[in-house]
Structure 1
Amino acid sequence: MDMEEKLKPFIWIEHESGSTSVILNVGTYKNEVFETRAEEGFEGNGYDWGSLAAVFLQERLPDLVDVVRFDPEGSMFCAYSKDREALKQFAIEFKDACEDDALIRDLFSRAELD
C-alpha cells in the first residue's frame, strides 16, 4: 500500500519549498469521536483536530513536538514540517491511532478546546 492510500482521508502534500504537509478536510472522518464532547463545544472542526493531534504528539511522539507543527482552520486540519521523515512518521502513526477507536477516544478525552 502506498503512502497516499495508507493516509486516506488525510492528504500528503510536498511543497516546492521543501517542506511537507498533511491535511484533512474535516466533517466526515471520525465525527463520532468529536460528538462525545459536543456539549463542551467540540464540533470536529480543524481546531478540534489540532487539539487531538497535539495530545497524540505529546503523548505518543514527544521527540517530534518541536519538529511537527499544526496550522488548522475551521474546515481543515493541517500538520507540517521541514523534516519530511518526521512528518511522515507523525502522519502514519496518527492515522493508525485514529483507526483504533479506543485509543483515539482516550487521547481525545484529554484534548482541550481551542
Structure 2
Amino acid sequence: MQPLKLVETTPGHYSLLLTAGDTPSDTAVDEAGHEPNGYFWEGMAEWLIRTRVPELDGRLKFDPEGGMFCAYGTDREALAALGSVMAEVVNAPERIGALIATAEEAGVVFDD
C-alpha cells in the first residue's frame, strides 16, 4: 500500500493518508495538467471507487488538504481496499495520464 498509510487515529476510527507532492506519479500528474495535491488525489480516489471498487461507495469520507490526501471512517477494510487500489495508481506513473484522460472524458473534474 506504500506510499499510503493506514492509521488508527482513535480506537475504531481510521485514516488512509498520502503525502501529496511526494509520490512516484507527481511528474506524470503535472504533465497531464494537474497539481498532485490532496484534492487531486480525492478526485482520483472517487473515480477509482466508481470504476474499480464500487462496493466501497458510501463506506468512507474524505478530508484532503493541499499537501495531503485523507480518507477516513470506521470501516478499516474499506480504507485498506481503497489504499491498495490507489497504490497501484500512485506507483504507476506510466499509467496515470491515460487514467486521468479517461476520467475527464467521463466528466470527472479534478479539484486541484
Q: Is contact 2:7–2:16 with CA below 8 Å preserved after alignment?
A: yes
Specify which of 25, 28, 35 is matched with residue 33 of structure 1: 28
1:84–1:58 CA distance, 2 compared to 1 (3 A): same
Deviation at 1:34, TM superposition (A): 1.4
The residue aligned with 2:69 is 77
Q: What's the CA shift string for 1:5-62, capped at 9, x where partnerless?
A: xx22212211224111111111121112211232xxx211110111111111110011
Matching residue's letter, 1:84: R
Deviation at 1:103, TM superposition (A): 4.3
Q: Is contact 1:13–1:21 with CA below 8 Å preserved after alignment?
A: yes
Q: Does 1:57 align with 2:49?
A: yes
Deviation at 1:98, TM superposition (A): 2.8
Aligned length: 105
Q: Does 1:90 align with 2:92?
A: no
Q: TM-score, normalised by structure 1?
A: 0.79
Task: Name stretches of at least 5 consecutive residues in structure 1 with no aligned partner.
Answer: 1-6
Secondary structure of 1:15's aligned partner: strand
1:113–1:76 CA distance, 2 compared to 1 (3 A): same
Secondary structure of 2:17's aligned partner: strand
Q: Is contact 2:28–2:94 with CA below 8 Å preserved after alignment?
A: no
Give percent identity, aligned residues only.
31
Secondary structure of 2:10's aligned partner: coil
Deviation at 1:86, TM superposition (A): 1.2
Instruction: Quote the RMSD (CA, aligned, Å).
Output: 1.8
1:66–1:77 CA distance, 2 compared to 1 (3 A): same
